[in-house]
């Protein structure tokens, strides 16, 4: 794979903002940007070309919100009708300019996953699988999962990419200024999750400017053995005469990004508010910089969606109360499908200082895989401790592992 090889030898450059460029060309307030893949292909070709001319190596298809929740047989355009031209517009730009990789761009579904929302995990996997199927068939070079704010949805997207293609997978998340995802994950837990899933590169995009991303990048670099991507906005946004403007200019953006490359980012680009001009200036400052591939970190961690437990330094306490062995009350709770009893055991153990919770729901007379799935899903709503899946049933193990944001 050419891209996987190139990543080992030089800094790679992603493209920048898309939405604001389309708005400048007349995209209406309520209009879905993805519909312009069909309605205004010449504009998309021009945007892609201008990023390639700026020196970008990777351009994103205009498919951030392309999924069957927004595009299906009931809507003006089907998913197929949106994604096929999106890839073709990007490919056409690469052909004209003679260089560049096309990334299939995937954003969040826009729905919350269970147990916080009502989208089932495997439905989320399926939503991504559908888009990825079209993108792969149309010949994208990599899959870029971006702006993810929930670890579980992030996992659904990466699994769909891994299970339906051999392409490189890049994944970036959106942190707040405290370095947290919307659902609570921090840098270390995101890195543990994504490294467990063996992505090719991981990092941060959107939400913040390069200045605010630096401390978060430091946290990521401290634990990541995988190349790190940084795609910030053009600073922090504010509203000026009804328009969104960003607080740093092209030169300051580029200078901050040069620092970010010096810190150890391997792949850099921009997000909201950045333009071909931002990218060109940044690339001018960064192109000759040496690539600093991350060293392999010798760490053993287990993670939940929001925290990691490091194995090795201090004693780790694993709560074993969610386990029927020798506990007649717990056995009865399993037979009675008494979730409340099981969840209460989790909360009590967390309150008493457990670091990790063992989860064993094996009883010969119950359907262990579905019980395991249900218990794991519900546990993640009441505790943020990492779970230790304890079963001899490989089907139960697989279903639990897909559903948890664990990373051993």
The backbone region for 77, taken as left when phi is positive above 0, alpha when psi lies in -120 to 50, beta otherwise, is: beta
Rounded least distance, CB 341 to Zn ion, Å: 44
Q: Which stretch binds Zn ion (CB under 5 A): 110-118, 205-213, 241-249, 320-328?
A: 205-213
Cα(112)–Cα(90) distance, integer angstroms = 30
Burial of 243 (0-12, 13-18, 19+ CB in 10 A): exposed
Residues for the chain: how many in total? Answer: 408
Q: Given the structure tokens 């969104």, which residue do they identify?
A: 244
- If we measure between CA atoms, which residue out of 227, 176, 256 comes closest to residue 9? 227
SS (H, E, C) 313-375: CCCCCEECCCCCCCCHHHHHHHHCCCHHHHHHHHHHHHHCCCCEEEECCCCCCCCHHHHHHHH
- Number of other residues whose CB lies within 10 A of the CB of residue 104: 29
- For Zn ion, what does the binding mask look like between residues 264 and 303, x meaning CB under 5 A? -------xx-------------------------------
- Number of other residues whose CB lies within 10 A of the CB of residue 248: 20
Of the pair 32, 366, the CB lying nearest Zn ion is at 32
Of the pair 74, 239, the CB lying nearest Zn ion is at 239
- For Zn ion, what does the binding mask look like between residues 297 and 336, x meaning CB under 5 A? ----------------------------------------
- Total residues contacting Zn ion by CB under 5 A comes to 3
18 touching Zn ion, by CB under 5 A = no
Of the pair 145, 206, the CB lying nearest Zn ion is at 206
Q: Which stretch binds Zn ion (CB under 5 A): 88-96, 159-167, 206-214, 302-310?
A: 206-214
Rounded least distance, CB 233 to Zn ion, Å: 5
Per 3-state DSSP, what percentage of the chain is helix, strand, and coil (rounded to 5)? 45, 15, 40
Of the pair 180, 331, the CB lying nearest Zn ion is at 180
What token pair was written down for 82?
A: 């949106």
213 touching Zn ion, by CB under 5 A = no
- Continuous segment of H or E residues that includes residue 121: helix 121-138
- Number of other residues whose CB lies within 10 A of the CB of residue 365: 8
Of the pair 171, 206, the CB lying nearest Zn ion is at 206
Of the pair 159, 206, the CB lying nearest Zn ion is at 206
Identified binder of Zn ion from the candidate list 206, 208, 346, 372, rule CB under 5 A: 206
Of the pair 244, 348, the CB lying nearest Zn ion is at 244
Q: Which stretch binds Zn ion (CB under 5 A): 46-54, 131-139, 202-210, 234-242?
A: 202-210
- For Zn ion, what does the binding mask look like between residues 125 and 144, x meaning CB under 5 A? --------------------
Rounded least distance, CB 94 to Zn ion, Å: 23
Cα(62)–Cα(35) distance, integer angstroms = 9
167 touching Zn ion, by CB under 5 A = no
Rounded least distance, CB 206 to Zn ion, Å: 3
CB 91 within 8 A of CB 139: yes
Of the pair 222, 236, the CB lying nearest Zn ion is at 236
Rounded least distance, CB 33 to Zn ion, Å: 12
What residue ranges bind Zn ion (CB under 5 A)?
A: 206, 271-272
């Amino acid at each position: 794979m050419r891209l996987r090889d190139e990543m080992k030898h030089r800094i790679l450059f992603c493209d920048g903002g898309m939405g604001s460029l389309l708005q400048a060309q007349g995209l209406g307030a309520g209009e879905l940007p993805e519909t312009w893949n069909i309605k205004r292909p010449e504009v998309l070709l021009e945007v892609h070309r201008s990023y390639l001319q700026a020196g970008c190596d990777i351009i994103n298809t205009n498919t951030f919100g392309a999924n069957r929740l927004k595009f299906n047989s009931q809507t003006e355009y089907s998913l197929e009708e949106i994604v096929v031209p999106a890839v073709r517009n990007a490919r056409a730009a690469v052909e004209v300019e003679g260089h560049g990789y096309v990334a299939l761009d995937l954003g969040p579904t826009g729905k919350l996953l269970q147990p916080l929302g009502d989208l089932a995990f495997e439905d989320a996997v399926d939503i991504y699988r559908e888009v990825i199927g079209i993108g792969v068939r149309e010949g994208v070079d990599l899959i870029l999962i971006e702006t993810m704010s929930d670890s579980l949805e992030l996992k659904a997207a990466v699994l769909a990419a891994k299970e339906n293609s051999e392409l490189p997978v890049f994944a970036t998340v959106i942190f707040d200024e405290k370095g947290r995802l919307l659902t609570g994950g921090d840098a270390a837990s995101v890195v543990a999750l994504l490294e467990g899933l063996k992505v090719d590169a991981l990092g941060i995009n959107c939400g913040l400017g390069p200045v605010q991303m630096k401390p978060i990048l430091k946290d990521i670099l401290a634990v990541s053995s995988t190349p790190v991507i940084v795609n910030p906005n053009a600073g922090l946004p504010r509203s000026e005469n009804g328009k969104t403007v960003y607080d740093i200019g092209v030169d300051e953006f580029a200078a901050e990004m040069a620092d970010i490359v010096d810190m150890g980012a391997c792949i850099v680009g921009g997000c909201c508010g950045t333009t071909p001009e931002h990218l060109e200036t940044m690339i001018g400052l960064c192109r000759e910089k040496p690539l600093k591939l991350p060293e392999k970190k010798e760490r053993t961690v287990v993670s939940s969606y929001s925290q990691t437990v490091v194995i090795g330094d201090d004693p780790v306490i694993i709560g074993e109360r969610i386990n029927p062995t020798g506990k007649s009350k717990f056995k009865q709770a399993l037979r009675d499908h008494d979730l409340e009893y099981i969840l209460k055991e989790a909360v009590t153990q967390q309150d008493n200082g457990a670091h990790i919770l063992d989860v064993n729901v094996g009883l010969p007379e119950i359907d262990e895989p579905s019980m395991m799935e249900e218990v794991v899903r519900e546990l993640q709503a009441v505790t943020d401790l990492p779970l230790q899946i304890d079963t001899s049933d490989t089907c139960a193990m697989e279903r639990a592992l897909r559903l948890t944001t664990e990373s051993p």
